[in-house]
């Protein structure tokens, strides 16, 4: 590769700068590249038309899939034109024959959807490597080249251009034309592969691909040149090629050498230049020895070296400040006070003590847990510890008005329950009688009403009298029913007396009154 014939300035470029260079080359060579693209795509499109059965979707998919076939001649042409070998468009067939090699086949099969196609296709076509060497080469050159971003950007450009062309045509068609000419159905252009708008849409997409392809190929080739320039120091090699004759002549051209920022290749070349300067300043051969070829004049070589070292790319220095622990200064560091050392020792001792206690507690906890598990595993142990079922609270059978209307009979039944040692049954019976008494007073209590609701209804009903006995009785019943706190029999007997006074004072006319502290028999 003759770098002296390179038509672009070689220097280290980032990925985006390389893409920009490629787009500039695409603009400069667009007519030739665009025509070359159609020279490849048009025959393929004509051949694919009968193969697809005149179906627009399959035809368009086939043309899109064979895009590497059209891009290979473009890359081949760019690689020659960059070194001054401009091939006319009339030699398109020769270019296609040279570009369509066996290295193109993977990009038509399993590598068709590769995001780095522009760069990898260039490597495969121009370097002609195979197997592991090709994979290693793709890995080295493609690392950080930005080829995937280039593919993504160009796909977006294609979509934008295709959509723009389609929408422009839609808005350019005037309204009011006869049927069949008016309007362009966008839905059919995108989905109906049997309609003429779909064919038109496919043609616009193919045109967009042809417009973007020269820029895509040029940008991929620029990325390839940029990576090789960065890795192999092409710019330095070219600069020193141009500088060497001038240095020998003692008149180096200003700015001929432009070292880069990389390490080993540039450093080696610079080191070689320094050695050449040292040799130039070395004393001459002894008298009588064989004559040597004339060495370069030391003064121009020193000037060239100084210029190279003064360049911003080569001699740039950068100052970074970081904090690094270097340990105590033994000379100036003051000894630690004694109390601080004692405190540290005490903290260490306390920590060890707490640690030991925690270990002991953990061991005890584990032992207790094991003991509990072993005890639970004894046959029938769980049955012995199973708590006895507590009898469910005996709620009043009903809170309605079907309670026993005979207060004397209810008082006898309550006392009988107390005498039998059943305070729960006695209190339940007494509360049930209270609700029944309210029902006889004309208070309608709905089913499912709670004790609190019964009290609120009774408070708002006339003729129920003083509700203090009912409130006390309700509180005792709630404590028994919900908290399992059974009152003693004396308290239940007192509640019975209050209840008898309440029902006697509020009893309607004609109902026998029962004096407080006596049973139904008047005893």
In terms of average pLDDT, the best of 58-72, 161-175, 462-476 is 58-72
Tens digit of pLDDT for each residue in 274-290? 555 555 545 555 444 45
Q: Residue 315: its pLDDT value, please?
A: 61
- N-term to C-term CA, the chain: 135
Residue 390 above 60 pLDDT? Answer: no
Question: 70 vs 35, 75, 79, 108, 397, CA distance in Å?
Answer: 11, 9, 15, 11, 95
Confidence of residue 27 (pLDDT cuts 50, 70, 90): very high
Confidence of residue 385 (pLDDT cuts 50, 70, 90): low
User: What is the pTM (predicted TM-score) of this model?
Assistant: 0.48
Confidence of residue 180 (pLDDT cuts 50, 70, 90): low
Percent of the chain with pLDDT over 70: 76
The residue to which tokens 């493609």 are assigned: 142
Question: Cα-atom radius of gyration of the chain, to the nearest Å?
Answer: 52
Q: To 10 degrees, the CA torsion angle through 379, 382, 384, 387?
A: -170
Average pLDDT of the chain to the nearest whole number: 78
Quote the CA–CA distance of 304 and 250 in Å, as a whole number. Answer: 10
Within 10 A of 396 (CB to CB), how many other CB atoms are there?
20
Give me the mean pLDDT over the 449-461 stretch.
81
Tens digit of pLDDT for each residue in 123-139? 988 888 888 888 888 88
The DSSP secondary structure of 91-159, one letter per residue, reads GHHHHHHHH--GGGGGGGTTTTT-TTHHHHHHHHHHH---HHHHHHHHHHHHTT--HHHHHHHHHHHHH
Residue 340 above 60 pLDDT? Answer: yes
Q: Residue 33: its pLDDT value, please?
A: 92
HSE-up of 125 (CA within 13 Å, CB side)?
32
């Amino acid at each position: 590769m003759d770098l002296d014939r390179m038509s672009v300035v070689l220097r280290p470029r980032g990925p985006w700068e390389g893409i920009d260079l490629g787009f500039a080359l695409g603009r400069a060579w667009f007519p030739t590249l665009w025509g070359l693209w159609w020279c490849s795509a048009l025959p393929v499109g004509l051949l694919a038309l009968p193969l697809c059965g005149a179906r627009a979707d399959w035809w368009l998919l086939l043309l899109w899939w064979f895009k590497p076939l059209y891009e290979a001649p473009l890359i081949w042409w760019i690689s020659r034109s960059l070194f001054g070998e401009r091939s006319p468009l009339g030699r398109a067939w020769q270019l296609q024959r040279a570009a369509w090699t066996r290295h193109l086949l993977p990009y038509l099969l399993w590598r068709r959807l590769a995001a780095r196609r522009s760069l990898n296709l260039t490597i495969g076509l121009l370097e002609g490597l195979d197997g592991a060497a090709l994979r290693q080469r793709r890995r080295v050159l493609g690392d950080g080249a930005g080829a995937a971003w280039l593919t993504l950007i160009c796909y977006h450009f294609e979509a934008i251009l295709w959509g723009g062309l389609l929408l422009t045509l839609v808005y350019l068609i005037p309204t009011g034309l006869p049927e069949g000419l008016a309007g362009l159905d966008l839905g059919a252009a995108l989905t109906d592969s049997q309609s003429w708008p779909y064919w038109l849409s496919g043609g616009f997409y193919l045109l967009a691909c042809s417009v973007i392809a020269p820029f895509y190929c040029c940008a991929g080739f620029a990325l390839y040149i940029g990576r090789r320039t960065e890795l192999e120091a092409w710019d330095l090699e070219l600069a020193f090629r141009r500088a060497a004759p001038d240095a020998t002549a003692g008149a180096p051209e200003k700015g001929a050498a432009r070292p880069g920022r990389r390490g080993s290749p540039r450093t080696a070349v610079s080191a070689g230049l320094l050695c050449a300067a040292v040799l130039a300043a070395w004393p001459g051969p002894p008298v009588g020895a064989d004559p040597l070829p004339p060495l370069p004049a030391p003064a121009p070589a020193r000037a060239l070296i100084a210029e190279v070292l003064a360049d911003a790319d080569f001699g740039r220095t950068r100052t970074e400040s970081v904090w690094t622990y270097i340990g105590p200064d033994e000379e100036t560091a003051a000894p630690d006070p004694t109390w601080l050392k004692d405190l540290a020792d005490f903290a260490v001792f306390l920590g060890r003590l707490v640690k030991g206690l925690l270990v002991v507690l953990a061991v005890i906890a584990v032992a207790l847990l094991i003991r509990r598990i072993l005890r639970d595993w004894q046959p029938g142990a769980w049955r012995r510890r199973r708590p006895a079922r507590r009898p469910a609270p005996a709620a009043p059978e009903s809170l309605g008005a079907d309670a026993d209307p005979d207060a004397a009979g209810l008082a006898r039944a309550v006392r009988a329950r107390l005498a039998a040692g059943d305070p729960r049954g006695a209190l339940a019976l007494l509360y049930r009688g209270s609700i029944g008494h309210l029902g006889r007073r004309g208070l309608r209590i709905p089913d499912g009403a709670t004790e609190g609701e019964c009290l609120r209804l009774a408070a708002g009903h006339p003729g129920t009298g003083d509700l203090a006995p009912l409130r006390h009785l309700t509180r005792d019943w709630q404590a028994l029913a919900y908290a399992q706190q059974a009152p003693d029999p004396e308290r239940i007997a007192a509640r019975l007396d209050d209840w008898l006074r309440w029902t006697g004072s509020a009893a309607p006319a004609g109902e026998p009154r029962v004096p407080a502290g006596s049973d139904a028999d008047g005893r």
